[in-house]
Amino acid sequence: MTYRNIICDVVPFTGHNGETGEAYYARPAGPGPFPSVVLIHHVPGWNEFCIEAARKLAHHGFATICNNLYFRMGDGDPDDIGARARADGGVSDEQMLGDVSGAMAFLRAQSNSNGKVGVIGFCSGGRQTYLSACRLPNVDAAVDCWGGRVMADPAALNAKQPVAPIDYSKDLNCPLLGLFGNEDKEPSPEQVNKTEAILKDLGKNYEFHRYDGAGHAFFDWSRPSYRPEQAVDGWKKVIDFFNKNLA
């Protein structure tokens, strides 16, 4: 079911350590009850692609919040704030988990929520989605879109990202959808295969889809990596997965 009437606002939410941040909140108009989704933005920041993706999910009936992971970095153009975050080594996994948890609480507190909340993320947000699905106790469904560094070289770990998400796989406690491009380098098809093998061994509920002719970020219409055919199919899989697991 789709909703032509949607409502979009920038709203305050309570994130990690009780700090108040800003979030884009797009939801279908109407009494509901609606399932909800937290959309985790990518390294470049709280930008137009992620905001538009939130509106797309709202169009398909999901009350979607895209919280700005960089709200502590000050105001400015999303790309400038993203550059500041990068120079600062990014956000820590603990802080990110606190913010996603706060965004989930915001969604569940809405009077027209059906109580179920999924998480989706793109690129670095895919990694953070995988981590959220393993570390947070109340995620009902998760979609990892080409999350890089789920499997991380130990040399790439640091104080802010101290543990590779794959090492938490035994704690994955919700259905997981993964979408990947076979021409991607991060994650490479080999890394995706290894991740799948681990999930299979652990008996986890997952489904992975791999796309030929696509690399990284093939949903992003603003970049040369955009692959319309694969993106249309991928979005359909996302919507179907959330309908199945959050309705």
| Interaction site with another protein (CB under 8 A) | 42-44, 74, 76, 79-80, 82-87, 89-90, 123-124, 148-149, 156, 160-161, 185-186, 215-217, 223-225
Question: Least distance (Å) from another protein to the CB of residue 121?
Answer: 11
Contact 132/139 with Cβ under 8 angstroms? yes
Is 174 in the active site? no
Nearer to another protein, 95 or 243 (CB): 95
Question: Least distance (Å) from another protein to the CB of residue 89?
Answer: 5
Distance CA 234, CA 247 (A): 19
Region of 146 on the Ramachandran plot (φ > 0 left; ψ -120 to 50 alpha; else beta):
left
Exposure of 72 by Cβ count < 10 A (0-12 exposed, 13-18 middle, 19+ buried)? middle
Question: Least distance (Å) from another protein to the CB of residue 229?
Answer: 18
CA distances from residue 178 to 72, 102, 136, 205 in whole angstroms, order as listed: 30, 24, 18, 11
Is 209 in the active site? no
Is 184 in the active site? yes
Number of continuous H segments (helices) and E segments (strands) in the chain: 6, 8
Which of 93, 145, 216, 220 is labelled catalytic? 216
Which of 41, 66, 93, 123 is labelled catalytic? 123
Question: Least distance (Å) from another protein to the CB of residue 230?
Answer: 15
- Verify cis geometry, omega within 30 degrees of 0, for the bond prior to 33: yes
Nearer to another protein, 96 or 246 (CB): 96
Catalytically active residues are 123, 184, 216
